[in-house]
Amino acid sequence: MSFHKLFSSNNRSTRRELFSGSGLLYVKSDDCFVPIIEGKRMGSFSLILYENRSEQLPYSFVLVDEEEGEVLKQSLGSGLSLAHCYRECSVHWLSLVDGTFQNLAFKFVDLESGGSGEIVTRKFVEMYNRCTYSMLTQTPLDVSTAQDPIYEYIGQTSTYVAPEDDYSEPTYHLDLDRERVKATGSGNVCYSESMKHNRIVVVRETQNEVQLQAHSYDANGFEGRKPETIDLKSVQTCDGALIDDLERKLLLFSVEDSHLREVDLERGEVVQQFRTPVNLQRVTYSEHVARPEPIYTCLAKDVAFNVDLRIDPRKNIIVEDGMSLADYKLGSLRKPFTCHATSANGYLVIGDGTGSVRLYTGPPGSRRKDGSHNPKTAKTLLETKVPIVDIDVTANGQYVVAVCEKFLLLMRTACGNNGEKNGFTSRMGQDKPSPLRLQPTPAQLSALGGIEALKFTSGGFDRYEGNGEVCITACSGAYLFTWSLEAAKRAEETGRTCLSQAAAVQQEVINAGAKIANRIVYQTDKDIRMAPLVREEFRETGLRHFGWRSTSE
């Protein structure tokens, strides 16, 4: 393998050394790790972590050979995923070397004491986590992180445990060889699945009206016949659509004019509409999926509330007697709410532009099944300092997934000694477990065009009928990413990484979801598509099976 010096003397003058440790750089080869340069002894390499504020990515570590000088640089925040094994005193990562991705490892040694390098390894991992946290949250590195509760919560998500034992886990990928595409014309906004009638209702904006298209499908994909259409000439804009429990009506909402409109799909017309007293951001089902009661949870920039479509539009917003929405607004918000989701029993999770995730027993002031009303304040506040662009919760409320531009965070809400409580009904306090970061692999990022090209716009759990969710999906540009929820739960418990699968669909994806059994439906500006979601078993060989070859072998 060839190396070259990476830094000029001018660059060196702006760097601040944060960590330095001695050891040897290895590359994974078959059943062992071998020195990346033959003939090098343990201690002949140094791993140095630098801060350089003049660079776009201010933190990086370099590998320095005692004879060659600086031979390899790895920037933090460029999609790097770092694993550690304290028993072996090693850290592991994928790096692009000579045009191919190589599994590299650095094994530390404590030259000063002559003992093991475990303490040195732990110091490096801690500084690595601090640097990554500083970049993600725009927090100065020199600010004490030990006293920062947000760092305590998400600071360790940048690194994971290198598994020592063999393991297997499920993965899910899109079978694009069996992708089915149905053209719709440009201007697509959203879609909603009609499961009982095997239809996907596409909503698109044409010149001065909104059009609905009902595309039929069967076990093989979309049928060849033309879609049924409804032209809503009285409706100019739409930002989302939710089909009701009987799949006879479709609720449209518009951010531009803050209107909710109920469309009778059999009659092909708007049967009721009204403007909300606050500007709408988003609307979702009040209990995770469509129910017989047409109650929806709406989100504005500083308040969430329930609307009951069975009630006169002049008083269908559900609040306590003598109260108005203004009484429930959250005045302490630094940036507006951005997204929300509900569980099957009405728990509410809200994300905002500062990275805060709030867990509520339900929308403030909304009515519970026992006739009481939900409190104004959230039970739990989970802070990440990274803006949340989308959010979802499992039907049972046990897991939340928060979508940020560069990664997803899987958050467990269970708390208490045996997990008998949750953050929606009890304050988690110091009891909250650290989330799991979900992100593309380095190879996937390279195909995407680098970390700069990655921009997640939406994501969430599947809505398959059955015994709980199986996958997480997210979209960025023309790529769809999937993770196994089962594997993610195990990774959250063990500290190891969770492997993602990526599919390039050639066109920018504006919406995606998993509701039709064993399929993903996704939408571009000009068509609606579906492809089978295939489960496979991924097997990984544990680190204990790999030897470390010395230079004398």
With respect to CATH, is domain 9-146 assigned 3.40.640.10? no
Closest CA to 221 of 534, 528, 536, 535: 528
Residue 509: which of 467, 553, 470, 477 has the closest Cα? 477
Structure token digits, residue 376: 């104004």
Q: How far is CA 70 from CA 15, 45, 63, 180, in A?
A: 14, 10, 6, 51
Exposure string for 250-277, b = 16+ CB within 10 A, e = fewer: bbbbbeeebbbbbbebeeeebeebbebe
Structure tokens at 382: 């989970």
| pTM > 0.85: yes or no | yes
Vertex 464: Cα angle to 501 and 414 (nearest 5): 80
The pLDDT, as a whole number, for residue 2 is: 42
Quote the pLDDT of residue 248.
96
- pLDDT, residue 4, reads 39
C-alpha 77/C-alpha 343 separation (Å) is 33
- The segments of the chain whose pLDDT lies below 50 read 1-10, 553
pLDDT by residue (tens digit) across 493-535? 999 999 999 999 989 999 999 999 999 999 999 999 999 999 9
pLDDT at residue number 144: 52
Pick from 103, 111, 116: nearest CA to 34: 103
What gap in Å lies between CA 368 and CA 346, rounded to an integer? Answer: 9
pLDDT per residue as tens digits for the range 229-260: 999 999 999 999 999 999 999 999 999 999 99
Look at residues 341, 327, 369 and name the one whose alpha carbon lies nearest to residue 282.
341
Domain boundaries, the chain: 9-146, 163-184+439-553
Amino acid at residue number 477: G
Q: Convert 335-393 into a string of H (helix), E (strand) and C (coil).
A: CCEEEEEECCCCCEEEEECCCEEEEECCCCCCECCCCCECCCCCCEEEECCCCCCEEEE
Q: Are strands 188-194 and 159-161 parallel, antiparallel or unpaired?
A: unpaired
Q: What is the pLDDT of residue 146?
A: 60
